[in-house]
Amino acid sequence: MYRFKEYTVIAEGKTAGAEMEKVIAVCSELYPKGKKTFDKEILTRPEIKLFLSLAKKPFSVAGLKINNKADAEKLKKIFFDFGKVINQKTTGNIDAGAGQSKPEVSKFWTEITEKKKDTSKADIMIGRNKVSVKAPVAQIMSGKKKETKATVLAAAEASGLQKSIQKALFAEVDKFVESSETNSKKINVGALKKMTAKQAKESGNAHVKELVDNQDASKQQIINVFKDAFKDEKFAYAFAREAMTGSEKFGGEGGNDIGEATHYLIWDYSLRKLRYTPIDKKLIGETAKKMKPEPSMKSASFVRKTKGEEGYRFFQAFRAEVKTVLGKMDEVEEEANEQVELHRRMLTEGYINEKRFLDTVKKIYTTAKNKIVGLAKKLMEKIVAIAKKAKEVIQKGIKETLEMFEIDISRVKVNTEVRFKV
């Protein structure tokens, strides 16, 4: 009825808890053979010997020795009773080889973690069920930065978090564009950088100044939109589900779903109790409340691998356009001032009269103002185009959106240690 694959036992870095899947397989294999055969073979198995050498309190077998007759009898009874519980709680062949494998992960997971394969979420197979073996107090997932980041992004997509924040992000983009409109006909760029908000308003240049001054504030507001959205209960549920099952990690495009866990088998330190349960909504919901993921974010500069997309980052593109246009405005102003100074020298030296000088200066500054107004309009057009692209990216998915706004999930505070009822 039960099946147990052969494997190499490596003691280095092992714990008794990590060896439980093998203990389960051995006990379930031997129990149907009857107590006589069970008692004869159980303590001879290398998996059991390794487990006993590692077992410490609160394990009921801690300190018991195989070479002590009284201890040996106690051990046989504990393991036999454990085999009985396993037989009662489960149906189907048990294969402990699943946890030894490293299936392919999804394309999404590879992109985030740079891994092509990873350790299976399923430790054993019970029939066709892919089972994760857990202690009463267990780590649900790895705390590694890239792994956690991938879990956050997968949960965000799965929970519909992206849709929930679209409206808020669109509002921020629109606000940003609206505040960028410039209707001033008199723009002194050199002075603009030194102006107070009041002076800029009085001169008609408040909007352009706002562009420059409010970059960081706008980015922080966008970061806050994401932080608020990540408090969503649906997201917490999706985070727990991904951490427990690996549904996107192994079941997503390009992955091998053999690594995805569908059930939990939770053992007790006494080896008298066992909980075998599907990873259903109730279990995930209970776990989600205990995990409490709290992602924090920071501003960051991303480098896309895809060619031709470097300019799609909202703030980088925005800064580039503002810097370019303001620089061109400076050049226009400087050129106008040089021409005026040239004609001033001509006036002083008597080459032109005062009327001609004044007429020429008027033309120079009129031309300069028209150029500057034209540049301001072009700046607005560019920002509108960038905003349009930003909205397109927002609709694609949360990963693309975070990159667009140069936001990095630097760390996620999450309680990965969860206590289960057995």
Residue 285 lies in a domain: no
Most confident of 59-68, 205-214, 285-294, 413-422: 59-68
Residue 339 lies in a domain: yes
| DSSP state letters, 74-119 | HHHHHHHHHHHHHHHH--S-EETTGGG--PBPPHHHHHHH--SB--
Neighbours of 266 (CB within 10 A): 19
Average pLDDT (358-368) is 92
Give pLDDT, residue 345. 93
- Helix, strand or coil, per DSSP, at residue 355: helix
| 258 within 8 A of 121, measured Cβ to Cβ | no
Residue 373 lies in a domain: yes
| DSSP state letters, 187-253 | --HHHHTT--HHHHHHHT-HHHHHHHHTHHHHHHHHHHHHHHHTT-HHHHHHHHHHHHH-HHHHHST
For the range 178-183, what are the long-range contacts, defined as Cβ-Cβ under 8 Å and sequence gap of 24 or more? 179/207, 179/210, 179/211, 179/214, 180/207, 180/208, 180/210, 180/211, 180/379, 180/380, 180/383, 181/207, 181/380, 182/207, 182/208, 182/376, 182/377, 182/379, 182/380, 183/207
Top pLDDT among 76 and 223 is at 76
pLDDT in tens, 66-90: 999 999 999 999 999 999 999 999 9
144 to each of 148, 301, 413, how far by Cα in Å? 6, 21, 11
Give pLDDT, residue 130. 95
Amino acid found at 392: E
Amino acid found at 41: E
Q: How far apart are CA 358 and CA 162, in angstroms?
A: 60
Residue 322 lies in a domain: yes
Cα–chain-centroid distance for residue 377? 38
Residue 332 lies in a domain: yes
Residue 366 lies in a domain: yes
Average pLDDT (360-386) is 86
Structure tokens at 229: 């959205």
pLDDT in tens, 394-421: 998 888 888 888 888 877 888 888 999 8
Structure tokens at 111: 């992109």
- The residue behind tokens 């109790």 is 273
Amino acid found at 245: T
Q: Shortest CA distance to 246 belongs to which of 258, 234, 261, 256?
A: 261
Residue 200 lies in a domain: yes
Average pLDDT, the chain: 85
Count of structural domains, the chain: 1
Domain extent for 311: 171-215+301-405
In sequence order, the β-bridge partners of residue 104 are 117
Average pLDDT (15-38) is 95
pTM: 0.79
Residue 82 lies in a domain: no
